[in-house]
Amino acid sequence: MLVGVVVNAFILLAMYWKVLSIQKDEEDPVAEYAAEEEVNSHQFSPATMSHFNSLNSQEWNTRIDGFNIPNSPQVQTLRNQSAVSHGEIDRVLDSTRNSNASKEETNGMPSLTKEETNGSPSKADAILDKPVEADLLLTSETKDYRSVRWKYVLWKSFVYIITLGMLIAMLLGLNMSWTAISAALALVVLDFQDARPSLEKVSYSLLIFFCGMFITVDGFNKTGIPGALWDVMEPYSQVDRASGVAILALVILILSNVASNVPTVLLLGGPVAASAAAISQEDEKKAWLILAWASTVAGNLSLLGSAANLIVCEQARRAPNIAYTLTFWNHLKFGLPSTLIITAIGLTLIR
């Protein structure tokens, strides 16, 4: 698997190096969209805490809204307080200094420079004391910010704990369906928000596709046609010979791109294992490894090779601002060499 990932990366670089190396224009909407997504994904990170005092009210509101924190009175207070920034204080100070200077010139007195104003006791000193009050205000904001952040850290920790518990339950052999739906319900309760936005992102057409695929495969298997085809290919697909392994892998590649790889495993799993078990127990293990490897890599050959490919195409077509239509031939141009090379590498390692 690791070797296959490296080989795929090299093939992608070799085929699409020019596309990947194009310098993006600063006004490119795709780059702006990516930059916006990057900003949203790094909200409330520790790196932003050191710049807390420099955030203006709009940035602060954006960070809170992007973080999906409910509009509690505490958060509303933070928003109102954050409207006072150092930049606004400086503008008030400059405006007051200019006003005092103009009045003093009108009264015949020379205007004071900023250094003179800072060095002599006058009304300007009272104005210059305002940043101290602002700093105290921002210190209070920092405490409230830290409180909100710790609540988020605690919430995030529970998310990790629930996810880890789900994985442990699956490794212990508990029912996969009940384990997954229990973890999902726990996350919904933990979020304590309406689940409708999340449910709207579910691709129900793909769910119907999967249901129909498994029903169709089961019906096709009961016709006896797959068994008859395997009876013809079985003498040439013995896993104790190199030629037999190559033919078996070729059959798996073809069927996986006709009926998808999951139905192929459902159709061939039993017959292939039984045929290999008649030779030896070690060959039975090898047969399962060949079936797993060849059917998995076969998903790279064409769009029909794996339902995951269809999911990617659907997501790419619906992507906002960067919608892309991945055609059958564009995918095959990469999938054919990738599948043949990586399948050969894997079969060699298994043998």
Chain length of the chain: 351
3-state secondary structure of 204: helix
Q: Which of 70-79, 130-139, 145-154, 321-330 has the lowest mean pLDDT?
A: 70-79
- Predicted TM-score (pTM) of this structure: 0.52
Query: Domain map of the chain by residue range?
Result: 90-200, 204-350
Mean pLDDT of the chain: 75
Q: What is the pLDDT of residues 6-43, one digit of tens each?
A: 999 999 999 988 888 776 554 454 454 444 454 444 44
Count Cβ atoms below 10 Å from residue 272 Cβ, excluding itself: 23
Instruction: Return the closest-CA partner of residue 170 out of 155, 185, 181, 160.
Output: 181
162 pLDDT higher than 90:
yes
For the record, the structure tokens of 154 come out as 């605690």
Angle at the Cα of 272 from the Cα atoms of 267 and 275, rounded to 5 degrees: 140
* Helices 86-106 + 130-171 axis angle, to 10: 170
